[in-house]
Amino acid sequence: MSDTRTSPDSRLALHWRILIVFAGTVLVWLFLYHGALLGRDYDRPTHVARAVLTTVLIVPLVVAARRLLDRRPWTGLGLPSLRTGWRRLLLGMACWLIPAAIGFALCLGFGWVQISLRTSATDALRVAALLVVLVFLYEALPEELIFRGYLQRNLATRLPAWQAVIGQSMLFTLFGFLVGAATSLDRLLLFFVFALLLGGFRVATGDIWAGIGFHVAFQTVAQLFGDVGAVFEVTGSDVLGVVAMGAIPFALGWTVIKRLHRDRLNWQAREPG
């Protein structure tokens, strides 16, 4: 009797799956930022529209890729329900916010930075609350789901964890360059280091909620004290960005995550295919 069974793994080759999802991600961001639909000029309604549309487009993209290209369950992407992940979400936020507060205090205390409020405290709080939601929808959730969720997970089925982290970091940096968010050397370096850090969070915790929390905190405060928030006047913004928003929270945040999950952290591990 002839054997009519099909191959146990009829998935598309790994490099094609990664290329398809990466290209689709770049096209979504280019369409929403450079496309004629919303225009390139910044205003708050446009920011809201981009944020909502990004999540609306990226989440189905990942769902379709996982189901049709990977032929594997959603659970492998490291995004359990918020009921399960909320503690790690808050942990990730705290890992950035607490060290960043120390950095802000140092910068202000030594006179490296001066900050003044352009508007009322109530308006600043309102803008901050709105930015938390917009950052979650426009950057943190879709970027973590794509790069530390889908891409890192797939790379880690063939490569040791440390190589998968480097691989998705290179893809994230290339993404930043292609969409126009990282066109200078310092921005490219920021994208790469940020992706390395969040990839490490994924390896240590086993999911992407801590990375989402860290991403939300970092991006929200960066935008709040920048041109997007437009509620603070900052003198010495470069020092503030490097010391208080970058070096201190990146180093201390990773130290905390690594210590809390030292029993699980394994840079040689591979994900089951």
pLDDT in tens, the chain (273 residues): 444 443 445 568 999 999 999 999 999 999 988 765 666 677 889 999 999 999 999 999 999 999 999 999 998 899 999 999 999 999 999 999 999 999 999 999 999 999 999 999 999 999 999 999 999 999 999 999 999 999 999 999 999 999 999 999 999 999 999 999 999 999 999 999 999 999 999 999 999 999 999 999 999 999 999 999 999 999 999 999 999 999 999 999 999 999 999 999 999 999 887
CB-based contacts of 56, cutoff 8 Å, min separation 6: none
User: How far apart are the C-alpha atoms of 267 and 41, rounded to whole Å?
Assistant: 43
Q: Is residue 215 part of a domain?
A: yes
Per-residue confidence (pLDDT) for residue 27, from 0 to 100: 96
Q: For the beta carbon of residue 108, count every other beta carbon within 10 angstroms.
A: 15
Residue count of the chain: 273
Per-residue confidence (pLDDT) for residue 10, from 0 to 100: 56
Q: Is residue 125 part of a domain?
A: yes
Both tokens of residue 258?
Answer: 């690594």
Q: Is residue 2 part of a domain?
A: no
Q: Is residue 4 part of a domain?
A: no
User: How far apart are the C-alpha atoms of 208 and 78, rounded to whole Å?
Assistant: 6
Q: Is residue 266 part of a domain?
A: no
Q: Is residue 267 part of a domain?
A: no
Per-residue confidence (pLDDT) for residue 5, from 0 to 100: 42
Per-residue confidence (pLDDT) for residue 39, from 0 to 100: 63
Which residues span the domain enclosing 204? 14-260
Per-residue confidence (pLDDT) for residue 164, from 0 to 100: 98
Q: Is residue 1 part of a domain?
A: no
Domains in the chain: how many in total? 1
User: How far apart are the C-alpha atoms of 10 and 21, rounded to whole Å?
Assistant: 18
Per-residue confidence (pLDDT) for residue 42, from 0 to 100: 76
Nearest to 208 by CA among 267, 165, 158: 165
Q: Is residue 5 part of a domain?
A: no
Nearest to 97 by CA among 235, 220, 195: 220
Torsion of CA 224, 57, 148, 104, to 10 degrees: 0
Q: Report the predicted TM-score, pTM, of the whole model to 2 decimal places.
A: 0.94
User: How far apart are the C-alpha atoms of 126 and 267, rounded to whole Å?
Assistant: 41
User: How far apart are the C-alpha atoms of 272 and 89, rounded to whole Å?
Assistant: 25
